[in-house]
């Protein structure tokens, strides 16, 4: 790669990552919105925590959007898909209560944290602004994972099946987002 194209390619990578992360945060906001709606009935003890996590995700989405706007970039084409899919996932898991809500958060955050950490490595020395935006959210994403893991009180078969399904769906959405 010539030095003339290196900054452009680095910027394009940072742009793509920011767009996908922004769409993913929109999905997370909507997962929590769906869960919040039903948790009032199925897991009232989690309502405050879900609301807090949702507010974190709204802030994370704003961080990525601000950086995309600064760069003059549009949102990802998968943005609406992430919102609709996230809301459907939130409703479905909210319906099943505390363990399903917690297991969903753990599965999503496990995938997200792995991607965020890899993005930080991939952007090292290439796109400091994108790196800063990503680094700004990692601690809260870890908090969501850890707090939710502490809530899981069942090892029921359906929960053991839910986690890989949610993780695979999250991976698929990231994969599609990086390619559209």
Give tens-digit pLDDT for 51-70: 999 999 999 999 999 999 99
Is it true that domain 6-179 has CATH number 3.40.50.620? no
For residues 135 and 93, what is the distance between their CA atoms, to the nearest angstrom? 29
Q: Answer whether 0.85 is exceeded by the pTM.
A: yes
**CB-based contact 91:34 (threshold 8 Å):** yes
Give tens-digit pLDDT for 98-147: 999 999 999 999 999 999 999 999 999 999 999 999 999 999 999 999 99
Average pLDDT, rounded, for the chain: 93
Within a 10 A sphere around the Cβ of 61, how many other Cβ atoms? 22
Among candidates 101, 79, 83, which has minimal Cα distance to 35?
101
**CB-based contact 81:22 (threshold 8 Å):** no
| Maximal C-alpha separation, the chain | 59
For residues 125 and 39, what is the distance between their CA atoms, to the nearest angstrom? 43
| Structure-token pair, residue 48 | 């405050």
Q: In the prediction, which pLDDT does 7 show? A: 55
Q: How far is CA 133 from CA 14, 72, 137, 164, 175, in A?
A: 10, 16, 7, 28, 20
Per-residue confidence at 155, pLDDT binned at 50, 70, 90? Answer: confident
Domain boundaries, the chain: 6-179
For residues 146 and 148, what is the distance between their CA atoms, to the nearest angstrom? 5
Element (H, E) at 15: helix 6-42
State the residue for tokens 């707090």.
Answer: 147
Give tens-digit pLDDT for 74-88: 999 999 999 999 999
State the residue for tokens 């199925």.
Answer: 42
For residues 10 and 5, what is the distance between their CA atoms, to the nearest angstrom? 9
């Amino acid at each position: 790669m010539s030095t003339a194209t290196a900054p452009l390619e680095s910027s394009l990578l940072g742009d793509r990552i920011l767009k996908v992360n922004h769409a993913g945060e929109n999905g997370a906001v909507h997962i929590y919105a769906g869960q919040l709606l039903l948790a009032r009935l199925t897991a009232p003890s989690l309502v405050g925590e879900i609301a807090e996590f949702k507010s974190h995700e709204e802030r994370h989405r704003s961080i990525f959007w601000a950086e995309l706007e600064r760069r003059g970039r549009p949102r990802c084409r998968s943005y609406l898909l992430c919102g609709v899919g996230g809301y459907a996932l939130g409703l479905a898991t909210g319906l099943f209560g505390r363990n399903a809500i917690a297991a969903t958060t753990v599965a999503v955050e496990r995938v997200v944290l792995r991607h965020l950490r890899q993005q930080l490595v991939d952007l090292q020395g290439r796109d400091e602004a994108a790196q800063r935006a990503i680094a700004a959210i990692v601690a809260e994403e870890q908090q969501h994972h850890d707090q939710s893991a502490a809530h899981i009180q069942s090892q029921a078969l359906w929960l053991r099946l839910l986690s890989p399904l949610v993780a695979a769906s999250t991976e698929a959405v990231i994969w599609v987002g990086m390619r559209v």
